[in-house]
Structure 1
Amino acid sequence: MKILANDGIDPIGKKILEDAGFVVDTIHIPQEELPARLNEYDAITVRSATKVRQPLIDACPNIKVIGRGGVGMDNIDVDYARSKGIAVVNTPAASSHSVAELVFAHLLTGVRFLQDANRKMPVEGATNFGALKKAYAAGVELKGKTLGVVGFGRIGRETAKIALGLGMSVVYYDLFEGPKTLTLDFTGAITLDLPVLQVELNELFKVSDFISLHVPFLDKPVIGKEEFEILKDGVGLVNASRGGVIDELELIKALDSGKVAFAGLDVFENEPTPRTELLTHPKISLTPHIGAATNEAQERIGEELASLLILNLKK
């Protein structure tokens, strides 16, 4: 059997599959060529770049498994594929901690103005040092502040654990009833259960000093014009979930007015061409959708994806 890893796969995952007797191609076939070529394969793995929609599924009846290396599957018509007897699998646990760490990279960047300082120091550091020092003098600490986590799945919980470890309080919103405590594991030798509080979404918006979003995009933003009005003045926002979860135009207005102190964005409505106003804004910390892009996460994704493919292809 042949597997097309169209958006790549970690070498560990590739070796696991090859040791199990599969042929793995890591060439990238452009989206427009897939309908003509995908029937050469029994399975395809994708990340976020390749789209597996209904027309492609109909054009390739040979496909038995679609694997998503990562969490969100909004680039796959999951229900339709499954209605055709195709197994659709993903790796929700593998990248959780990597995404959570990126959230805090953005939070720590925002509270100390690093996104702007890193732009201006190379240009003005030698001639305007004192003014820059004064401009960035009003940083704040995360310890003692409240982090609101919207969506309390695996990534949301990993994010909350880091917050608790830094001495923050955590409130969270989720559609389903969640835990009252989370267990922090310190180097495997010490564990500690710390409290988290589940609240309604509007309450989270009112009490949170910082908010991290971990939900899919549905039919409208989670934080739009009305929600911005509810937020605490000077709140910091991080979106490492999906573009569109925060209304970007309203975000720019809120940053310009001071309602929002800073934002950290790893995802954008118009990927791969984000709005220029976002890319150049001095109060926005930016990364190009790299939440799961750590060596450790990619190894875990490769291993988990390989195991799922073997399980489904050998049925």
Structure 2
Amino acid sequence: MKILITDGISEDGRKILEHAGHECVIEHFEPEALIQKIPAFDAILVRSATKVPKDVIDAGKNLKVIARGGAGIDNIDHAYAKSQGIPVLNTPGANSASVAELALAHIFALSRFIHLANITMREGKWEKKKYKGIEVNGRILGIVGCGKIGRLLAEKAIALGMKVLVYDVVDVETKLPVTKVSLDELLEKSDFVSLHVPKMDKPLIDAPALKKMKKTAYLINCSRGGVVDEKALLNALNAGEIAGAGLDVYEEEPTQNLELVSHPKVSATPHIGASTVEAQDRVGIEIATKIVEALKKS
């Protein structure tokens, strides 16, 4: 069968598909072109760059499988696909370790001004006295969303001597020495707040939520764009309502919010949570294996 891979796949993943007898076409198409091309394919594999809305699904007359290499499937009209009998596959745990490590990287960057010092050093400035940071040992990390990524981050934070508060809409059982609290309590007590939740219809962290945080606290978002109200965040940073933010995801991607990402209190990365060699290999192998099995059943 013919599989369209629009946002790339690891070499091991591609080999799994081809060894199963499938033809792989690895090419990215803009939305209008994708609608024209999709009828020729039996399956489509995307990452975060390609959207698969209703009109693409309707145009895919031969589609038997839609797959997303990664956890979230918000760029796919998965409810409509399932109503048409087309399974939607993803890899919810394959990149968890990489995302958890990136969240921790932002925590370190902000606590020691690494994001800012890296820029000023390149400008020839030696601002040693300006960058008086804090140690994470003994600090309180609030994790919003205690799924696999949240739990992995909690493990790493505990190993660093941090105290961990967690909040989730689901009562997740964990053997980790963490304290379950309400969202309000988490926001009020945490020195760092790290978000690990799915895409939402409206921001979880809006202006009122930001006002509940300590003025010395930092917000980390490596989950989904739109979970944080970017306008409210920028206002909070400018007003000194919070100390800073680490961002990997944005309301629009690529983001045009240069005022936010170039803010001196912001550590910014371009949605690289899953961009490690190890994660890409795991994602490619897992999603390719799932596609092969799904096509056998089609």
TM-score relative to the length of structure 2: 0.97
Contact 1:163–1:169, Cα closer than 8 Å, also in 2:
yes
Task: Name the aligned partner's letter for residue 154 of structure 1.
Answer: K
Question: Out of 188, 193, 197, which is 1:206 matched to?
Answer: 188
Amino acid at match of 2:107: L
Which deviations, in whole Å up to 9, do the C-alpha atoms of 1:13-40 show, x marking residues without a partner? Answer: 0001111111111122222111111111
- Post-superposition Cα deviations, 1:56-76, rounded to whole Å, max 9, x if no partner, equal 111112101000000111100
Question: 236, 259, 263: which one pairs with 1:254?
Answer: 236
Contact 2:164/2:179 (8 A) holds in 1: yes
CA distance in structure 1 between the aligned counterparts of 2:219 and 2:160, rounded to whole angstroms = 18
Give the alignment of 1:34-49 within 5 angstroms: 34-49=34-49
Q: Is 2:124 the counterpart of 1:160?
A: no
Q: Which residue of the partner structure matches residue 268 of structure 1?
A: 250
User: Is 1:231 aligned with 2:213?
Assistant: yes
Using the alignment, how far apart are the partners of 1:244 and 1:106 within structure 2? 19
Partner residue, 1:100: 100
| 1:175-210 deviation per Cα after TM superposition (whole angstroms, max 9, x unaligned) | 11112423xxxxxxxxxxxx1121111111111110
> What is the aligned-residue identity percentage?
52
- Once the two structures are overlaid, the 10-residue window that deviates more, 78-87 or 220-229, is 220-229
Q: Which runs of 5+ in 2 are unaligned?
A: none
Q: Structure 1 counterpart of 2:130, which letter? A: A
The reply on whether 1:311 has 2:255 as its aligned counterpart is: no
Matched, 1:292 2:286: no
Residues 180 and 197 of structure 1 are in contact (CA less than 8 Å); yes or no, is this contact kept in structure 2?
Answer: no
- Equivalent AA in structure 2 for residue 241 of structure 1: S
Cα distance in 2 between the residues matched to 1:94 and 1:142: 27
User: Are 2:47 and 1:53 equivalent residues in the alignment?
Assistant: no
Asked whether the 8 Å contact 1:179–1:196 carries over to 2, the reply is no
Alignment RMSD (CA, Å): 1.1
Q: For residues 129-208 of structure 1, what are the structure 2 equivalents within 5 Å?
A: 129=126, 132-136=127-131, 138-182=132-176, 195-208=177-190
SS class of match (1:202): helix
Q: Deviations over 1:217-244 (max 9, x none)?
A: 3222111111111112210111011112
Alignment of 1:45-84 (within 5 A): 45-84=45-84
Distance in 2 between the 1:181 and 1:208 partners?
A: 21
SS at match of 1:55: helix
Structure 1 counterpart SS, 2:123: helix
Deviations 1:276-315 (A, max 9, x none): 2112211100100000000000000001001110110001
1:115 match:
115
1:283 to 255, 265, 270: 265
- 2:46, 2:68 within 8 Å by CA — same for their partners in 1? yes
Unaligned stretches of 5+ in structure 1?
A: 183-194
Give the TM-score of the pair, scaled to structure 1.
0.92
- Residue identity matched to 1:145: R
Is the 8 Å Cα contact of residues 13 and 285 (structure 2) preserved in structure 1?
yes
Aligned residue pairs total 297
C-alpha distance in 1 between matches for 2:92 and 2:239: 37
SS in 2 for 1:306: helix
Cα separation, 1, equivalents of 2:269 and 2:170: 30
Give yes or no for the alignment of 1:222 onto 2:204: yes
- Is 1:239–1:266's contact at 8 Å kept on the other side of the alignment? yes
1:216 Cα deviation after fit? 2.1
